[in-house]
Structure 1
Amino acid sequence: YITMTLNIAKSIVKLGNGILKQTALPWTKEELRDTTRLEKLLDTMVREMRSSSGCGIAAPQIGISKQLFLFELDARESDLKCPNFPLTAFFNPRIEIVDEDFVIPRPLAGSSKNLLNLTRFKRSVHSATNHLPRVATANNTISLWESCLSVPNFYGRVTRSRRCIISFTDIAGQSRAIEADGIIAACLQHENDHLHGRVYIERLKNGLNDLVHIDEMSEEMLTDVQRLTGDFQITK
């Protein structure tokens, strides 16, 4: 067993604060045109996320109940079997989870055209209560140890949809869409949960009782995530 206690920024909203239970409000077109305000907000979120060693952060976690989250992933630094995900701001995101049970019969590479082609499969909208395929199997779900800046130094093993499509507005006000698989899909769903008033603890079977402090995580538990794969494809 090893000790890896992290220092999470005091300004990050922690579990127990009511804003984490709220459904975040969408951004209006007028608000999205105020680039000066948005850039200041994003600068704050990036600073708080990186100073706390996070790979994602949602606006409610800094006290702003608006539909926005950031995500970035340096796969090489984390020794993950997936491509790097560049720092991206997701305004007014909408996630569709893939319901169908199938296997992608090739190594994931992160570069092929129509790599995942998830639009051909049956999908349902991700919400606070609906976040898994109707019939959950090993082929359409992924289970991983998750942590959260708002629940510092604890982990919980969460099951999520293995594949999803996320539509959103980017910082330039353009409509975008990304298909995601594996660990990347799970991370996007984790961040999107914050916009529905959910933290990952509510996805655990026994809630708080299923949490494990980072100091009590075994080497195998800590490295388990490195066995997972993931991929993504920008489709719009």
Structure 2
Amino acid sequence: MTGTARPITIVGTPVLHRPCRPVEEFDDALAALVDDMFASMYAAEGVGLAANQIGVDLRVFVYDCPDEDGVHQKGVVVNPTLELPEHRHLDHGDEGCLSVPGPHAPVARPDRAAVTGFDVKGSPITVEGTGLLARCLQHETDHLNGKLYIDRLSARARKKVLKEMEEMRAEA
């Protein structure tokens, strides 16, 4: 595997809480960033990673996770636009985040999603997902819009997750 694992940014870091800039150049620097993102995601044992999770203010994410049929999907999406089905069935599964290390909480999300965008070379792509992949596509696109999964929780649930994260980090 190429790329260098970089530290994961943690909730509270400003780059996580604002929308990222669009990628304008599909060059070697972008390819190197994507390699580092995959290395960082694997090192942290994640299934998806947005550029701002390693401190880079660009609209790009990587993923490597199964869909609802257990088929592993791996890729990169640059400048993604999320598309949700008109008729939605919500999945109330638990969600976690490398930038909120430790705790998980139930987050209702549509069980199907698609993103359109570009691959690392600038060719148009569409990725359609079900199951965990659908959740991942939504979660990572949220990151690029400056939103964390805990921002989708009630104030009480968010406070509980952040307290649990702090307690787990203090014990480590």
Q: TM-score interval w.r.t. the shorter chain? A: 0.7 to 0.9
Cα distance in 1 between the residues matched to 2:110 and 2:78: 21
CA distance in 2, matches of 1:66, 1:145: 27
Q: Detail structure 1 runs of 4+ shifted over 3 Å in the superposition.
A: none
Cα deviations across residues 6-47 of structure 1 (Å, max 9, x unaligned)? xxx87211011111111011111xx11x2x212211121111
Q: Secondary structure at the match of 1:147?
A: strand
Q: State the match for 1:110 in structure 2.
A: none
Q: 2:125 aligns with which of 157, 176, 189?
A: 176
CA contact 2:94–2:107 (8 Å) conserved in 1? yes
Counterpart of 1:208 in structure 2 is: 158
Structure 1 or 2, whichever has the larger Rg, is: 1
| 8 Å Cα contact 2:48-2:62 kept in structure 1 | yes
Aligned-residue CA RMSD in angstroms? Answer: 2.1
Aligned residues: 159
Structure 1: stretches of 5+ with no match in the other structure? 1-8, 102-139, 215-236
Q: Deviations over 1:53-98 (max 9, x none)?
A: 11111000111111000000257xxxx7421112x11100001111
- Normalised by the length of structure 1, the TM-score is 0.62
Normalising by structure 2, we get a TM-score of: 0.84
Decide which of 18, 21, 27 is 2:17's aligned counterpart.
21
Q: Is 1:53 the counterpart of 2:40 in the alignment?
A: no
**Alpha-carbon spacing, 1:213–1:74, altered in 2? closer, same or farther (3 Å):** farther
* Corresponding residue of 2:76: 89
Map 1:162-201; keep pairs closer than 5 Å.
Answer: 162-201=111-150
C-alpha distance in 2 between matches for 1:43 and 1:91:
13
Please tell me whether the aligned partners of residues 59 and 69 of structure 1 are also in contact (alpha carbons under 8 angstroms): yes
Equivalent position amino acid for 2:72 in 1: N
Unaligned runs of 5+ in 2: 166-172
- Sequence identity, in percent? 31
3-state secondary structure, aligned to 1:209: helix
Matched residues in 1 for 2:132 and 2:82: separation? 15
- Bigger RCO (CA 8 Å, 6+ sep): 1
| Aligned pair partner of 2:87 in 96, 100, 107 | 100
